[in-house]
Structure formats: C-alpha cells, structure tokens
Structure 1
Amino acid sequence: MFRANLYSRLSRLLVASVEVSVQRASSGFRSILPTRSLVDNFVPNSRSFSLVSGSQASSSFNSLDLQSEVPASKIRNVAIIAHVDHGKTTLVDKMLTQAGGHVPGERVMDSHALERERGITISSKYTSLQYGAYTINIVDTPGHADFGGEVERVLGMVDGAVLLVDANEGALSQTKFVLEKALRAGLSPIVVLNKVDRPGCTKERCTAVESDIFDLFASLGASDAQLDFRVLYSSARQGWAAEELPPTGEAPAAASLAPLMDSILAGVPPPPGGAPFAMLVSMLGRDPFLGRIAIGRVHAGTARVGDRLRILRHTGEREGPEAKLTKILKRVGTSDVELREASAGDIVMVAGAEHVGVADTLADPAVAENLPPGHIDPPTLSMVFSPNDSPLAGTEGNELTANKIGERLRAEAESSVSMRVSTVQESGGERFEVKARGELQLGLLIENMRREGFEFSVSPPQVVLREEGGSVLEPIEDVVIECPDVCTGTIIDSLTARKGELQEMVPVPELEGRMRLTFSAPSRGLLGFRSVFATVTRGSGVMNRAFSKYDVHRGSMDSVSKGALVSMADGKTVAFSLWNLEPRGVLFVSPGQKVYSGMIIGEHAKGGDLEVNPIKEKAKTNFRAMGTDENIRLTPPRAMTLEDAIGYVGPGELIEVTPKSVRLRKSVLDSNLRKRASRSSAR
C-alpha cells in the first residue's frame, strides 16, 4: 500500500512538473501574440473545421508530429488585405470560431492594448487553421496607411490574398494601396464584397462596386490572369460567404465561410518545395526566456531544432553570424504549438537567431544568396526625439536618459521596416531623428513609450523631401473624405489653401445628404488638418489618407501664424490669473496645474506670442473681499491630447511627453534667449 501511494504521488508530481514546463514555454509568447494552452490542436475533418479537447488530443496524436507531417501541397498561405474598417479582423475571428477554436470575445487577433482601445490593427499577425486535410496560414494586416509597411513586408510570406471590400463604401484609398502591392508581388487576389447584409446593399450596388474594382485592377496594370478574379459576397459579422448574392438583408441557407475556404484552396497555389532551407524573416518578437523570436515563412527546405543556420543580410552582406535553432513554434488558432521541424510553406516562429533582423534570410549553410526582401515605400514624416530638459523633468517618469531613449527607438526600428532612426549630435546633447509613414504611426510610438515610463521631448513633424534632377520633390497623398454636403465648401476651401487639388466629388451611394470628395494633397498640408476637419464636420465626417507618390514641390502655403500664451513664471496656476487671461485667448491649463517659464499655456487671440503670468494671486487688502477664487467661473480649457499636440505644435516649439502629461513648450525656455535668436534669424 505504501509503495502504491508513493508511485501515485510521484506520478502526480511528474505530471505537475510537465504542466509547469509547458506553461513556462508558452507564457513568454504573450509579448508576441495572445497564447492559450498548447494541448488544444486542430485535427482534419473533411469539409468542416474541428478542434479536439486537450484530453482527446493527448491520447490521439502528438502535436509536434501533426504539424510537421503536413505536405507542402496541402498548405495554403494567404493574407487578408483591405481598407481600414472593412472587416478584416472580424473575418479572421469568424474563421477561427468556425474552426472550433476558443475565441474569447471580438478582435482576438488585435492583442495589443492600443489596438483594442482604438479598434484598429497596428501590426500584422498570423495564425493557422485546419480545413479538411489542408492547413491554411492566414495573415491579418493593418488597414491604415501609416502601417502600410506592415502590409508590404508580409506579402512575401504568402502565395495569395483575399481583398476585402465594403460593398457599401466601395474601393477607397487604402484599397488601391494594398491591391497595388499585392499585384506587384505577383499575387492573384480573391475579391470578397463584405457587409452585404446591410439594408442598402442591393444587387445594383454590388454590380457597380465590382465594376469599379475591375477598373482599379486594370489601372494598376494587372495581368490577364489577375483580372480574372473570383468574387464572393459575405457578412463577416454574421460569419458567412456565398458565391451568389442572397436577397437583401438575408443570409444564405447554409450560412458558413466554407465557400471562402474552398476558393482559397482552389485559387491560392501551394508553396514550392525542395532546395535547401531558406526562411525570410518578416516580423520580430522578444521572449523573456528564449530571447529574440524571428517570424516568417519557410520558402524552401526543412530545418529542425538544433540545426545551425547562417544569417544572410538583406543589405547583401555575404558573411553573417550563425544561428542555432533552439525552438520552433507555430500559431494554430489562438495557441502556440511547438514543432520539431519547419518545412517549406510553414509560417513559424523560431528562437536562437539573436542577430537576425527584419528582411534578413535564415538559411542552410549551403545557401549563398538571400531571399529578396521586396520593395518598401520610404517614410514620409520625421520627428526628433530628445531627453526632457524642462524644469519638471524626472517628476513623472523613470526612463529619462538619451541612452535609454535611443535603445528603445532602435528596438522599434528593428521590428518596423517602414521606420528609420538616426542619431543627431548637437551642442545640447544626443538626439534621435525618427522617420515614419505618418502622424498616426509616430503618435502610437510616442504613446507606447510614455506608457512604458519614458520622459522625452519631440519636435514638430517635418515632411521628408527629396531632390531629383535639380527639383525638390515632396510626398503626395490621396485623401478621400465623406461629409455632409453642407460642409463641402468649407472643406474644399481649407484643403485648397493647403495646396490640395480636388480630383472628384460625388454623392455617397445610399446615403442622402452626404458627399465623397477625393483630393490629391501634399503631406505637409495635411499636418494638423484632422482637428480642423473634425471641427468643420462636427465629428460627422470620415477622412482616409494613403501615400500616393513623390511629386514636384507645390510651393509655399499661405498660413495664419497662431500666437501662443507663454508662461513667464514657475509654479501652480491660479484661478484669478487664468480668469484675467481668458480674454487674451484660449487656455490649455486649469487652476492648480504646474507650469514653468517657457511653457505654452494657451493660444493667443492675435498673431505673435504673449508672455503672461498664470500664477499671480489676487492682491490682499484690509478691505472685505466681495468674492473669492472659488466664485470665479472659468471656461473649460482646451484638452490637448497627444494627437492634437502633434498637429498643433509649431516651429520653435516642442512637445513634452511624460507618463502623466502632454505639454507644449518653447524649445528655448529663456525669454531673453528666444528674443535674441529671433533677432538673429530676422537679419
């Protein structure tokens, strides 16, 4: 009896230790993608999706062997591409749900906190599911133009694409951008008209959208094979797709996404096999136990845990460091499954390559040439990051030094192919110029850093210009605006003053009283325009932007210089002083807020800056006061968010960013030095 109890205890301890090991192996990948238990695995089930429970899986098959034995002919790699808010992430959610996966809530692929807060996809993510005897690897891509680099880099991971288009809105600016990249990569997209369950989505509307999409394909130089695209109709929210459009507002009899899956199997070619191992790194992550994680598609060959590989730089360097594979993991549904080997067609995460970067190639030692990384459009906007040197520096954050800021920015640039970081040495110390695709991408980087405890200052955004053939070129964007027709005149005047050119003006289908305006405008003219647009349309307008090209500089813009109310003292603001300053302009601060000399506390009602004292208290006398500060009623200050500050900050100013505050300030805090510099520049 004693021996039996001892064996029972030992067996329980062994099982517990195995469970702890599995949990430790999987817990680190929460920084890459949300993880679940590693024992939930997909199993083949003809013409349907299925998932077996952990107990069934452990008794019926080994998860390591299941994934490694899928032949390349049974693998399909596909990307979901679309304009923002056309339903990409919702579609992937429903595909995983119908595959039997545990999908907690909505937007399961958007794992980052900012993605869930803003309801947008920021970085590309991948997963896989089993459809019959086939494994389908799916890559979910962002829809915003600022994250177009995420789309460009992952198209090298796939052999096909699903172009999702809102049947009510039609093809918009980012639809053109992502489609152009897919066609350039040689992909033949499957077109899915989404949101056809809406009441206004008629057959005539869908036919018109299909015609517009065909014209878009043709204008982008699609081949005959690419022009012969499949068209499906779907409702990602309801979880169905169909080859024929059902009656308006109704779902087909057998409502599922099986028609879409069948189209992927038929329209997306399998990955090529043979040749030595080669994998193009498209994404990077970091795990506290395993270190740097390289994510990408295996283009050829097979690699196993323990194999030694060489790193071929995308810059063309022949001699690169070696790597030893310590872990190979694959995304299955919402789980990370550990593999013994990775073969051609697999999209996997590998550990052991500490020195690999995005667009580099992990390859067998016999491979001499790196895989082509593909073309990435250059950044169009830059900002300079520097340590915070204001009087309030160090009071709200814990990451303050230039070294820490530089390390964080370089780490971001390693994982973002569309971002560039360079060091700027100035008399005031080390600074860092960050080039990116737009205000949103830079704003999210700044927001992430402040949440991590960083304190720093950033300069006003500047467009990245080029010189070719003696001409100065500037980035031009396509801008599509939907707004009430009563606002069109004001919007046209505003964008024309910013060197924008009206391309098209048409009514929005099925929406009475709304117009769609298409502009071609320089990026510099769009800086700060979003807040103007929101004010003009009273929040009822929609604006979408996408990079178009570099074109000849359109000349200087007529701008009305806005003056600033600049504090001339250090301390806490007083209601009495703010009440006296209200006639001078719009305030950004409230009573009891810390300010310092050189800090911008409001917008001057007239041109030019005005130095004011916001901490001056009411003079005390021996006479009985008629009232106190508690009786002073102030107009609520303008709340300046990070996005507002990026669009508002002007030349000679900085944005001070801390974990708790976003402040505007002059780059030179001393008023005498500012006046001296102003006189010098005027000469």
Structure 2
Amino acid sequence: EDWQFDFPVMYGSGRMGFMEDTLDKGNASLAAKTGDLRPLFDAIVKHIPGPPIKANAPLQLQVANIDHNDFVGRMGIGRIFAGSIKQNQSVVVVSGPNGVPHKGRVLQLHRFAGLGREEVKEAKAGDIVVVTGLEQVHISDTICEAEFPNALPPIPIDEPTIKMTFGVNTSPIAGIDGKPLQSRDLRSRLERESHRNVAMRFADTDQPDVFEVSGRGVLHLSVLIEDMRREGSELQVGPPRVIYKHDAKGNRLEPIELAVVDVPDASASKVMNLMLSRRGQCTVMEVKGTFQHLEFSIPSRGLLGLRNAMLSATQGEATLNTMFLEYGPYRGDIERRINGAIISQGSGEVIAFGLFNLQDRGRFFVDVGEPLYEGQVVGENAKDTDMVVNLNKEKKLTNIRSSGADEAIRITPPHKMSLEEALEYIKEDELVEITPKAIRIRKTLLTENERKRVGRAAGA
C-alpha cells in the first residue's frame, strides 16, 4: 500500500551506538564519533502509537506466556490492559468470557528491565509484568480484581499437528556420550517442559519407557530435543506423524498449512513440481522483479523434509515460511523416502577397508573410526531395499603382503545429518538416537532375525 512508504528515515550505526534524524547530522556524528541512540527512541515514541489502556478502570491483565521456576512455581507473563496490580493483592483468574473465576493472591511482581527482570511493588496499565503465586493460570486467562471479574477475549492457541515418540535410549552404546535418562527422569523432564510450553503435550503409551509427545511441527519438537541434548541427556525418538481428526460424517481430516515461497525465476518450476508432488495447491503466483512469490496450501505431511529438498533444488536461493491454516479433507498418500537403508551387521568401529569396498552401494552417514552397533543405519542404499553390511571387515594378512599394505585408500566424506534432517528422514521402523555428541539413526529392532520374523508375521 502507498501509505506504507510514508515512514521516517534514521541515519546512524548500531555498532557505533549513534542515530540521527538527518543525513548531515549522521555524517557529523560519524566523523566526530559522538552521539547516542536517543533520536531513535524519540522517533519511536513520536511515530508509533502506544497501546490502548484504561488507567482508571478495574484490573485486566491478560496472560500471553507461561514460565516456570522450581522455587516460585508457575509464572504468568502478560500486559496490563486496564487498572493496576500490586504485590499481595487478592485477584481472580478468569478463563474466557464464560469462565468460572478462581481466587488467588499475587505473591511477587516483576517488570522487564532490559534483558532482565526487576521486582516492583506495583505496575500500571501498559506495563508487561511477570506474576507469581497463581498456579492455575494459563495462556489467554485474564487476571482481574476480585470484585470485577471481567475477562478479555481469549488468545487463540494453535493445536498440535505433529506427534512423535520419546523413549529411553536402548542402544548397545547408551551412556558413553551422555547421561541416559530413565523413564521417571524422562517423564519428569517432559512435565517440566509442559509447564512453560503450552503447545507441547505428552501422554503415556503401552510401553513404560516410551511417551508420545505432540507439538506444532517438527521444528517445535526438535527445539525441545536439542535442549535436552545440551543438558547432557540421551534419548531416542520416533518418526514424526500427523495428528488426524474426523468430521461428523467420519471423513478423515488432516492439518493444512500455508507455505509462502520466494524463489528466483529460474528455479520456480522446480519449486512448483516439488510442492505439487507433496499434494500442495498453488493459490498465489506473483512476479516481483527477478523473483516469484508463490503461496501454497499443503498438508503438514508434505512439509516433512521439504525445506532441505527445496534448498537442494534451488541451490539455497529459495525462502520458505509456513503457517497453520485449518484442518481439511485428506489429500491422499505422499511418497516419502524411496531408498532403503544400509544397516550395520556387527558392533565395533568403522574400518576403512570395509567402508571403502562398500562405497559404490550408496552414501554413508559414518566415518572411519566411529563406533557403531548391530542394527544401526550407517547409510542410504542406492536401491529401494534394506541392505545389511559389515563395516568391521579388516584386510587380512597373506603370504605376500601384510594387512597394512595399500592403506592409501580414498574414503568419500560421510553425509552428516542435522537433527531436523534425521527426524524427517527416518521411516516407521526406525528411530533417531540423540546424544550430546552424536545423532545416529537405528532400526527399532536391532537384529536381522527379529526384523525378518516381524516382516514374516506382517505378511502372513
């Protein structure tokens, strides 16, 4: 819109710590190495309207986020839309216009100051505060005066669309890289996360050491996994699965998301083919200079592995942003990974001789000297079937040459996956093992005999 071009321009340097409202003043401050950021702050106050507040009305504080502390418990974070709030004040928490008020008392009150928080006795309309002492508070709840329980319109919260299993690490080399979690430790960690992460939910399964965790997407859950990994924990997770729903007639519904892609003209056709192969439907196509702006409605299933595939197809020039739209009719099957897995036959370390002789069978995920175990997925087969290999094979001594002869062999560098890549790569019969030092892919059933027995039973 034309009105969007009517904005003030500031001149300065964030690194040098100065800002001016004219180019001449900016050049002068740059030459003299003087000045500060006050002109920028003054411009923000002048041109950006403040939040609408009702200073003299009864208290209305809407909770927009939740935090948790082991010492003070649950904390509600939100902005005061009306009135004021004090420490030790008796309040009520109302969930929505028709919610039942719950009584409580404000134990502590903090206000944000820079990157930290400072305790205050009182906060007024317009302030963003942290309230402790209200254990029953949730996102979108309204904290009101006990005499005036008037709730604000609730904040919509996206429902989980993806689920995966979190389990205790059962690999043969568990505990070498980090701290293997027991089932009670894993449950406790997920409970703590659910206090502050309202979009994450977890539930028990028929296995005592495995939990089903739901979230808004693979990226949402991978952040939790990465946090646990940095804490020094080990765990194993299953492949992401979409959460389906059913309408009144019993038809299956799946989450549909809006995917916005900006891509150079030369790569637009590749993006189009990629999205259509994943049941995406193009809704907007606009030319913006040398780029094309594309919008698609696509099932959440189609987003699994899409980002990396799109970057590869466009040489990293495409940008992708997604947002949940709605639950819509199921759009049919989507073909995922075609290639089979290369599976380790034994345990030990990767030997250069064994790896060199198998390089033409596919691409490998492991390097020489890395530990491995039976059932670990060490690579991707060039064919569509799984293949069991022996990477522990050593060159044997003969009568005419030693076992160390001809050691100058070339090993192709392994393909190392990020956490998100590994989660999007695995099939239903595979798991991702996460440790502080490594990300490995493994079969759920480690031995070849177990996999064959289950395969025969499934085909019977």
- Normalised to the residue count of structure 1, the TM-score between the two structures is 0.59
Is 1:271 aligned with 2:54?
yes
Is the 8 Å Cα contact of residues 357 and 414 (structure 1) preserved in structure 2?
Answer: no
Deviations 1:35-78 (A, max 9, x none): xxxxxxxxxxxxxxxxxxxxxxxxxxxxxxxxxxxxxxxxxxxx
Question: What is the aligned counterpart of 2:393 among 592, 597, 616?
Answer: 616
Deviations 1:158-193 (A, max 9, x none): xxxxxxxxxxxxxxxxxxxxxxxxxxxxxxxxxxxx
Question: What is the aligned counterpart of 1:261 among 28, 33, 45?
Answer: 45
Give the superposition deviation at 1:405.
Answer: 1.8
Question: How many aligned positions are there?
Answer: 444
Residue 442 to residue 233, structure 1, CA distance change in 2 (3 Å): farther
1:232 corresponding residue in structure 2: 7
Deviations 1:492-541 (A, max 9, x none): 222211111233333333xx4x3333322211112111121121122222
Q: Quick one: distance in 1 between partners of 2:47 and 2:212?
A: 46
SS in 2 for 1:679: helix
Is the 8 Å Cα contact of residues 566 and 598 (structure 1) preserved in structure 2?
Answer: yes
1:460 corresponding residue in structure 2: 239
Deviations 1:578-601 (A, max 9, x none): 111111110000011111111100
Q: Quick one: distance in 1 between partners of 2:170 and 2:224?
A: 20
1:475 corresponding residue in structure 2: 255
Question: What is the aligned counterpart of 2:121 among 340, 356, 373?
Answer: 340
Partner AA of 1:403 in structure 2: R
Provide the alpha-carbon RMSD of the alignment.
3.2
1:499 corresponding residue in structure 2: 279
Is 1:528 aligned with 2:312?
no
Give the superposition deviation at 1:310.
Answer: 4.6
SS in 2 for 1:274: coil
1:577 corresponding residue in structure 2: 354
2:173 corresponding residue in structure 1: 392
1:671 corresponding residue in structure 2: 448
Is the 8 Å Cα contact of residues 385 and 457 (structure 1) preserved in structure 2?
Answer: yes
2:340 corresponding residue in structure 1: 563
Identify, as 1 or 2, the structure richer in helix: 1
Q: Quick one: distance in 2 between partners of 1:316 and 1:616?
A: 70
Q: Quick one: distance in 2 between partners of 1:462 and 1:286?
A: 29
Is the 8 Å Cα contact of residues 97 and 152 (structure 2) preserved in structure 1?
Answer: no
Give the superposition deviation at 1:395.
Answer: 1.9
SS in 1 for 2:397: coil
1:87 corresponding residue in structure 2: none
2:227 corresponding residue in structure 1: 448
Q: Quick one: distance in 2 between partners of 1:438 and 1:559?
A: 17
Is the 8 Å Cα contact of residues 362 and 380 (structure 2) preserved in structure 1?
Answer: yes
Give the superposition deviation at 1:610.
Answer: 0.5
Q: Quick one: distance in 1 between partners of 2:228 and 2:48?
A: 40
Give the superposition deviation at 1:413.
Answer: 2.5
Gaps spanning 5+ residues in structure 1: where?
Answer: 1-209, 215-228
Q: Quick one: distance in 2 between partners of 1:492 and 1:372?
A: 40
1:211-360 aligned within 5 A: 232=7, 234=9, 256=40, 258-265=42-49, 268-271=51-54, 273-275=56-58, 277-287=59-69, 290-312=72-94, 318=100, 320=102, 322-325=104-107, 327-354=108-135, 356-360=137-141
Deviations 1:229-287 (A, max 9, x none): 99535569868799xxx99xx99x9974544422334x742235322x45333223345
Is the 8 Å Cα contact of residues 244 and 255 (structure 2) preserved in structure 1?
Answer: yes
Is the 8 Å Cα contact of residues 103 and 146 (structure 2) preserved in structure 1?
Answer: no
1:421 corresponding residue in structure 2: 201
SS in 2 for 1:406: helix
Deviations 1:635-666 (A, max 9, x none): 00001111211221112111111111111011
Give the superposition deviation at 1:362.
Answer: 4.0
Residue 235 to residue 479, structure 1, CA distance change in 2 (3 Å): farther
Identify, as 1 or 2, the structure richer in strand: 2
> Identity of counterpart residues, as a percentage?
35
2:35 corresponding residue in structure 1: none
Partner AA of 2:226 in structure 1: E
2:409 corresponding residue in structure 1: 632
Residue 236 to residue 320, structure 1, CA distance change in 2 (3 Å): farther
Is 1:645 aligned with 2:428?
no
Gaps spanning 5+ residues in structure 2: where?
Answer: 30-37
Is the 8 Å Cα contact of residues 358 and 414 (structure 1) preserved in structure 2?
Answer: no
2:320 corresponding residue in structure 1: 543
Q: Quick one: distance in 2 between partners of 1:517 and 1:310?
A: 47
Is the 8 Å Cα contact of residues 60 and 150 (structure 2) preserved in structure 1?
Answer: no
Is the 8 Å Cα contact of residues 241 and 257 (structure 1) preserved in structure 2?
Answer: no
Question: What is the aligned counterpart of 1:654 among 421, 431, 445?
Answer: 431
Partner AA of 2:260 in structure 1: V
Deviations 1:562-581 (A, max 9, x none): 20001111111111111111
Is the 8 Å Cα contact of residues 508 and 515 (structure 1) preserved in structure 2?
Answer: yes
Is the 8 Å Cα contact of residues 162 and 240 (structure 2) preserved in structure 1?
Answer: yes
- Normalised to the residue count of structure 2, the TM-score between the two structures is 0.86
Deviations 1:429-472 (A, max 9, x none): 24222222222211111111100122111111111221113322
Residue 384 to residue 369, structure 1, CA distance change in 2 (3 Å): farther
Deviations 1:389-410 (A, max 9, x none): 1111222222511222222223
Residue 629 to residue 385, structure 1, CA distance change in 2 (3 Å): farther
Residue 400 to residue 575, structure 1, CA distance change in 2 (3 Å): same
SS in 2 for 1:429: coil
Partner AA of 2:85 in structure 1: A
Give the superposition deviation at 1:372.
Answer: 4.4
Is the 8 Å Cα contact of residues 79 and 129 (structure 2) preserved in structure 1?
Answer: yes
